[in-house]
Amino acid sequence: MASPETDVKRLKREVLVRLIKAFYSDDFAENTRLIPYTMTPKGSRAVYRCCIFKERVVLRARVMAGLGLSIEDDDETVSLSLYAKIAGERIRPNTEAPLTMIDIACQGCPDSRIYVTELCQNCVAKPCVNICKFGAIHIVNNRSVIDQDHCKKCKMCISSCPYWAIMKTVVPCESVCPVGAMHKDQNGLAVIDFDSCISCGKCVDACPFGSAQARSQIIDVLSAIRSGRKVIAMVAPAVFGQFPCSPQQLNTAIKQIGFSEVYEVAQGADITAAHEAKDFAERMERGDKFMTTSCCAAYNELVAKHLPEMRRFVSDTHTPMRYTAEIVRREHPDAVTVFFSPCFAKRREAALDDKVDLLLTIEELGAIFIALNTKVDVCAEENFVYQASKEARDFAITGRVARSVQAACTGDPAAIKPVVVNSLNKQAIRELKQYAKIGQCESGNLIEVMACEGGCIGGNATLNSLKIAEKQISAYSSKSRELTPQG
């Protein structure tokens, strides 16, 4: 889910805002170079790092990520001004990996371990010693001690201690990664195994030092707008739960910052629901026991990289982004298409889709509004041309994709028994592996998989809490037409 506002988020946003202002200034390259210095001017004291010089180095890396560059490939002898020039002139952004690591920002967290604190009372019962199956706990000097060479981190001792005297330390980025793509290099600093990474972005939210960062395409989007070409915004349903305005006001605000037209991706969601309902019916008719939905980009990467045995159970239906982009391409063949996304994972999907040119996250859209002083809450309201269904506009909320498939079903909706995976984690992946192995899910036959808790409204690039986002989206969708089956 969207994490609370923190200093890390504020720093990222400030860098983006300054980068946008630099882009619209008389000297983009030079003003980009100056960002680390204007944020930490001469005479100021270090707030987050050991010294102001290290803070500037970290800020330089954040600017690079804002320019869409890989920090792993940084040549420290190259000035930010040159990097800005490269970003401003490129034809298409590098899309190999949407994430990058700021090694200089990494704290080099100690390895995860279970240990006994000073709260240990050397109790007579010795539950921790007796419960350990691996002989890892002994009494030394009247206190329990864990032999790390024998500890298997099963955490049974933690739950057994009546004083909660046993603790586990974690490496935040490693602990939240559902596929083990985060690990330490020879220097003890976090790195991403991009061959394993599914772009879920959980590491970005988890790292309290802001070491994991998304590579932005914001300069590419702004360059397309400045070029005079027609640039079309395709707005995911989750976006309407993120700003203090109505969807119709947001439509106007997006046009004010330079977009030619705005399409609701809910238009594509209506198509996705209809196709998935048909796909589901065909699979059940041929004897399949279950089907999983296909909308979550991180889940689709999970299947491709780590869960190939599940591939035959994933719906062949395209995502709402793809169907919306097809509509835009038909109506505006020469336009630049920009998908507005609640997460980073969609960047990989967009990179592989010839109908989608660029991607802008909700966080980045918010930074543009700030930089250009766009007051979304006072914009005039402008309705969308296509009036999507209630179910399509609810796609961003967990459980609602499956509900839309039920609504689009031409047969008996009761035959569809939804199961919701509300956040991809290690336990959820184990369960999915088991479903694929036995070819059956005992609790249902339509599995909706969302990488983020709460669905897309909890995406790693969102701004609002789940409660507020769901309330705003539900208020909008409640005034929409009902989805009806298409025979």
Residues 387-433: pLDDT tens digits?
A: 999 999 999 999 999 999 999 998 888 899 999 999 999 999 999 99
Q: What is the pLDDT of residue 3?
A: 58
| Range list of H helices, 258-340 | 266-285, 297-305, 320-331
Q: Using CA atoms, how far apart are residues 325 and 233, in angstroms rounded to an integer? A: 10
**Mean per-residue pLDDT of the chain:** 94
Q: Are 244 and 199 within one domain?
A: no
Residue 482 resides in a domain = no
Residue-wise pLDDT tens digits, 265-295? 999 999 999 999 999 999 999 999 999 998 9
Q: Using CA atoms, how far apart are residues 12 and 66, in angstroms rounded to an integer? A: 9
Q: Using CA atoms, how far apart are residues 233 and 247, in angstroms rounded to an integer? A: 13
Residue 184 resides in a domain = yes
Q: What is the pLDDT of residue 346?
A: 94
109: three-class secondary structure by DSSP: coil
Residue 75 resides in a domain = yes
Q: Are 430 and 329 within one domain?
A: yes
Q: What separation in angstroms does the CA of 293 have from each of 3, 381, 453?
A: 26, 34, 16
Q: Using CA atoms, how far apart are residues 60 and 54, in angstroms rounded to an integer? A: 10
172: three-class secondary structure by DSSP: helix
Q: For a pLDDT cut of 90, what percent of the chain falls above it?
A: 91
CATH code (residue 129): 3.30.70.20
Q: Are 354 and 469 within one domain?
A: yes
Q: For a pLDDT cut of 70, what percent of the chain falls above it?
A: 99
**Confidence category of residue 47, pLDDT binned at 50, 70, 90:** confident
- pTM value is 0.92
Residue 2 resides in a domain = no
Output the six-digit token pair for 6.
């923190």
Residue 262 resides in a domain = yes
Residue 62 resides in a domain = yes
Q: Are 371 and 357 within one domain?
A: yes
Residue-wise pLDDT tens digits, 332-358? 999 999 999 999 899 989 999 999 999
Give me Rg for the CA atoms of the chain: 25
Q: Using CA atoms, how far apart are residues 366 and 368, in angstroms rounded to an integer? A: 5
Q: Using CA atoms, how far apart are residues 369 and 388, in angstroms rounded to an integer? A: 26
Q: Are 270 and 286 within one domain?
A: yes
Residues 63-82 have a mean pLDDT of 94
Closest CA to 270 of 225, 319, 222: 319
Domain boundary among 154, 169, 184: 169
143-146 and 190-192 strand pairing: unpaired
Output the six-digit token pair for 4.
């609370």
Q: Using CA atoms, how far apart are residues 223 and 209, in angstroms rounded to an integer? A: 31
Distance of CA 262 to the CA centre of its chain: 22
Q: How many domains does the chain contain in total?
A: 3
Q: Are 134 and 279 within one domain?
A: no
Q: Are 315 and 292 in contact (CB under 8 A)?
A: yes
**Confidence category of residue 369, pLDDT binned at 50, 70, 90:** very high
Q: Using CA atoms, how far apart are residues 122 and 140, in angstroms rounded to an integer? A: 10
Q: What are phi and psi of 454, to 5 degrees?
A: 90, -10
Q: Are 88 and 132 within one domain?
A: no
Q: Using CA atoms, how far apart are residues 211 and 401, in angstroms rounded to an integer? A: 33
Residue 380 resides in a domain = yes
Q: Using CA atoms, how far apart are residues 243 and 262, in angstroms rounded to an integer? A: 16
Q: Please name the residues in contact with 303: beta carbons below 8 A apart, sequence gap of 6 or more.
A: 310, 311, 314
**Which contiguous run of DSSP H or E holds residue 214?**
strand 212-214
**Confidence category of residue 366, pLDDT binned at 50, 70, 90:** very high
Q: Are 236 and 298 within one domain?
A: yes
Domain extent at residue 44: 7-108+173-215
Please classify residue 76 by burial: count the beta carbons closer than 10 Å to its beta carbon, then call 0-12 exposed, 13-18 middle and 19+ buried.
Answer: exposed
Q: What is the pLDDT of residue 50?
A: 86
Q: Are 203 and 337 within one domain?
A: no
Using the predicted structure, report yes or no on whether residue 177 has a pLDDT greater than 70.
yes
Q: Are 155 and 189 within one domain?
A: no
Residue 452 resides in a domain = yes
Domain boundary among 160, 193, 215: 215
**Confidence category of residue 97, pLDDT binned at 50, 70, 90:** confident
Q: Are 155 and 98 within one domain?
A: no
Q: Are 102 and 207 in contact (CB under 8 A)?
A: no
Residue-wise pLDDT tens digits, 319-330? 999 999 999 999
Q: Using CA atoms, how far apart are residues 192 and 189, in angstroms rounded to an integer? A: 10
Q: Are 208 and 239 within one domain?
A: no
| Residue pointed to by tokens 């330490």 | 184
Q: What is the pLDDT of residue 2?
A: 56
Q: Using CA atoms, how far apart are residues 372 and 253, in angstroms rounded to an integer? A: 11
Q: Using CA atoms, how far apart are residues 84 and 304, in angstroms rounded to an integer? A: 34
